[in-house]
């Protein structure tokens, strides 16, 4: 028989085993095993049965569906609504007057429904093709072909002796943000703009079912800022201050000339009416396309557009899983819901993945898991109009987010192709790589997503979040919150058109919905690690290395200009490198060294203070005054290009100032460039001080 003491010891050990908390890593492993591609497929089908532009009843129904999935997963959920200025078309017309003897041609401006389209009836609900926030008006003039409508394209036209003054420009989509296409046209003297989808870029050269059909049109916003145009810098709550439509126009963030998006078929017909010089080889279309000439004319177009600005309601769906130990620290996942049409890729492949994450986290909770920190699931509205839903929410919650947000993890178009892509602020690079190493390649069970990623980009390339193309912008560029964005996507041919529907996804994007599963797994793992880790897994050495690379590129750009010194920037980056090394050693001591580990655990305030330094360092890269002439953008390392809102720029303020100095070449302009270098240097030094956590 067992002695009483021995028996008690065994029972105590067994009871201790039963009562001991399950390691977080066990739940993390379980998370990846809970995938359900059938459920994701159902989510996408439900979300895309009707077109659901922001402000529509169909989009409110989609919000209700997201809400129901969150709540059925035992996630406390609420809807945050805003009253924002949304733009819709009232009337449109486009007429081509070609050179004689060809007769005038009135364009239908209609995307054709294909044979046996199961969404033919629902397609009638799609808003007529238009540019959101386009200027109402009529433009009649000869056509000039301007390639992609970039600044350098207008420089080429000037070299050719071609003026666009008084003309209507024809530009093709593909390289820069459509709002910048129209802004550049206005600055060059054009009176109107047409933007078409060239089959070389969107038709696959020879066409085919996967590609944009000839009548397909890419819709989209032309607003060059973020958030509600009538509430710049503050939230669009029910009874808030608003600026007038006239003031919106005077801000310079909406187009000053009328515009329309047109199909590849219509764009090609207009191109055939243009004479003049033959365009350069890199301006030409596909092999079987007609020869592109630049004009002006002799073809003349009559473009007419009338739109209206409506104050409508948008709805963000917010689910909150409260942290057990640090409820005031937020790990935020976000994806938008609204779409120009059906939105199977953009954005509801991401929405379906977000709902999959919600259901998996609900299952983990039933098994006893509670996150250390609070996880917030956000489904944004009105992203397509200019990131309205996320921006208004960030502006309304600015101070809370600035003091409590650990990271923001964004997904937009989650799935459209087999290759994996990711972007991040640099301290999260390693975390992204580790997550992809834990998730199976959806198309090859013998390798991981990381192996797939490595095969496509050797070494693995992680993009940066300086552009304004998705909902990470307000978090990174306005507040300075570490962020990521992942996708099996790098653009797709039916983007923003009638044909981005569930059928396209089933046939071409992800027939088995395994890539959706992989996105949910990588996305969710990063969130779990950030929410549950005792020490935040941030590495600022990656940041220092990245800044060093940018500065060396800048050094080449200024070509030894004696009016500019990069010494302050190099010195501050070296300070950041030293601070990152020190805090990495402190992290290692907590995670690996038993002696130090016990000391840190006994004094949770020290652990908290260490994590706060890691969390807050990104904020130091922001400046309260923001970028010159773009004060809403506070981040001095990452921001959009001044000439392409989709384009990501490192050191955007320096870039703007150097570009201006190169044009003006005055002492004052180079002095401003040096000032911008000092600003960034000070911000980098502040980040070092935050990491060190010691007052001077």
DSSP 3-state of 298: strand
Which of 215, 198, 494 lies closest to 340 in space, CA to CA? 494
8 A C-beta contact, residue 537 and residue 588: no
Residues 222 and 135: their CA atoms lie apart, in Å, by: 10
Residues 443 and 696: their CA atoms lie apart, in Å, by: 54
Estimate the crossing angle of helix 604-616 against helix 594-602, to 10 degrees: 90
Which of 504, 552, 533, 513 lies closest to 610 in space, CA to CA? 533
Choice among 383, 384, 575, 676 that is catalytic: 383
Which of 493, 528, 485 lies closest to 509 in space, CA to CA? 493
Residues 289 and 300: their CA atoms lie apart, in Å, by: 21
Which of 302, 311, 278, 545 lies closest to 426 in space, CA to CA? 545
Residue 687: count of CB within 10 angstroms of its CB: 28
Residues 583 and 605: their CA atoms lie apart, in Å, by: 16
Distances in Å between the alpha carbon of 38 and those of 84, 119, 418, 514?
36, 21, 19, 9
- Cα torsion through 547, 550, 556, 557, rounded to 10: -130
Which of 339, 463, 341, 344 lies closest to 410 in space, CA to CA? 463
Residues 655 and 525: their CA atoms lie apart, in Å, by: 36
Residues 675 and 686: their CA atoms lie apart, in Å, by: 17
Which helix (H) or strand (E) is 142 found in, with range?
Answer: strand 137-145
Residues 113 and 542: their CA atoms lie apart, in Å, by: 49
What are the residues facing 334 on neighbouring strands?
Answer: 378, 410
Question: Token pair 């027939």 is at which residue?
Answer: 511
H helix runs in 511-563, sequence order: 514-532, 540-558
Q: How far apart are the first and last CA of the chain?
A: 68
Tell me if residue 557 is catalytic. no
The single-letter DSSP state of residue 170 is E
Residues 677 and 671: their CA atoms lie apart, in Å, by: 10
Distances in Å between the alpha carbon of 185 and those of 167, 360, 466, 563?
9, 49, 24, 33
The single-letter DSSP state of residue 94 is E
Which backbone phi and psi does 334 adopt, to 5 degrees? -140, 150
Residues labelled catalytic: 383
């Amino acid at each position: 028989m067992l002695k009483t003491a021995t028996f008690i010891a065994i029972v105590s050990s067994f009871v201790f085993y039963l009562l001991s908390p399950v390691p977080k890593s066990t739940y993390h492993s379980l998370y990846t095993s809970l995938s359900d591609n059938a459920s994701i497929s159902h989510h996408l089908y439900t979300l895309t049965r009707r077109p659901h532009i922001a402000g529509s009843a169909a989009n409110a129904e989609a919000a209700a569906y997201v809400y129901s999935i969150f709540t059925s997963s035992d996630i406390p959920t609420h809807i945050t609504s805003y009253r924002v200025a949304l733009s819709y078309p009232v009337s449109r017309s486009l007429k081509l007057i070609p050179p004689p003897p060809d007769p005038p041609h009135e364009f239908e401006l209609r995307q054709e429904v294909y044979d046996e389209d199961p969404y033919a009836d629902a397609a009638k609900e799609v808003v007529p093709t238009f540019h959101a926030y386009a200027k109402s008006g009529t433009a009649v003039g000869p056509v000039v072909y301007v390639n992609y409508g970039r600044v350098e394209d207008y420089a080429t036209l000037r070299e050719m002796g071609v003026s666009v003054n008084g003309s209507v420009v024809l530009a093709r989509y593909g390289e820069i943000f459509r709002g910048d296409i129209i802004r550049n046209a206005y600055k060059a003297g054009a009176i109107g703009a047409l933007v078409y989808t060239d089959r070389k870029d969107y038709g696959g050269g020879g066409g085919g079912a996967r590609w944009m059909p000839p009548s397909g049109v890419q819709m989209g916003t032309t607003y060059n800022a973020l958030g509600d145009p009538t509430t710049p810098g503050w939230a669009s709550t029910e009874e808030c201050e608003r600026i007038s439509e006239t003031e919106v126009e005077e801000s310079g963030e909406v187009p000053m000339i009328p515009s329309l998006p047109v199909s590849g078929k219509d764009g090609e017909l207009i191109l055939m009416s243009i004479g003049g010089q033959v365009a350069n080889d890199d301006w030409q279309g596909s092999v079987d396309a007609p020869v592109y000439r630049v004009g002006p004319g002799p073809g003349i177009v009559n473009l007419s557009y009338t739109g209206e600005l409506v104050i409508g309601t948008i709805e963000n769906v917010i689910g909150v899983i409260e942290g057990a130990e640090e409820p005031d620290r937020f790990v935020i996942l976000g994806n938008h819901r609204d779409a120009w049409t059906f939105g199977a890729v953009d954005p509801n492949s991401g929405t379906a993945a977000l709902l999959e994450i919600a259901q998996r986290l609900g299952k983990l909770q039933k098994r006893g898991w509670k996150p250390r920190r609070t996880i917030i699931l956000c489904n944004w509205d009105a992203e397509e109009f200019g990131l309205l839903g996320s921006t208004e929410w960030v502006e309304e919650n600015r101070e809370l987010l600035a003091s409590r947000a650990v990271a923001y993890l964004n997904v937009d178009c989650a799935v459209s192709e087999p290759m994996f892509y990711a972007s991040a602020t640099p301290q999260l690079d390693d975390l992204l790589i580790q997550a992809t190493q834990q998730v199976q390649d959806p198309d090859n069970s013998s390798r991981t997503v990381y192996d797939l990623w490595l095969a496509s980009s050797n070494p693995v390339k992680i993009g940066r979040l300086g552009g304004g193309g998705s909902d990470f912008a307000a978090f990174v560029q306005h507040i300075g919150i570490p962020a990521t964005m992942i996708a099996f996507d790098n653009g797709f041919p039916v983007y923003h058109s009638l044909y981005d529907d569930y059928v396209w996804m089933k046939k071409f994007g992800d027939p088995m919905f395994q890539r959706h599963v992989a996105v949910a797994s990588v996305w969710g793992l990063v969130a779990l690690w950030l929410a549950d880790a005792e020490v935040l897994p941030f590495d600022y050495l990656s940041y220092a290395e990245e800044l060093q690379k940018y500065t060396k590129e800048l050094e080449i750009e200024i070509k030894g200009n004696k009016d500019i010194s990069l010494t302050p920037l190099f010195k501050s980056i070296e300070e950041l490198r030293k601070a990152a090394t020190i805090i990495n050693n402190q992290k290692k001591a907590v995670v690996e060294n038993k002696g130090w580990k016990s000391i840190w655990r006994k004094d949770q305030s020290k652990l908290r203070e260490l994590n706060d330094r890691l969390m807050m360092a990104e904020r130091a890269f922001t400046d309260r005054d923001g970028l010159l002439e773009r004060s809403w953008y506070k981040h001095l390392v990452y921001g959009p290009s001044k000439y392409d809102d989709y384009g990501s720029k490192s050191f955007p303020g320096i870039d703007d100032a150097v570009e201006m100095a190169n044009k003006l070449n005055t002492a004052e302009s180079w002095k401003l460039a040096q000032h911008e270098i000092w600003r960034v240097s000070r911000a980098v030094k502040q980040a070092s001080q935050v990491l060190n956590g010691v007052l001077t």
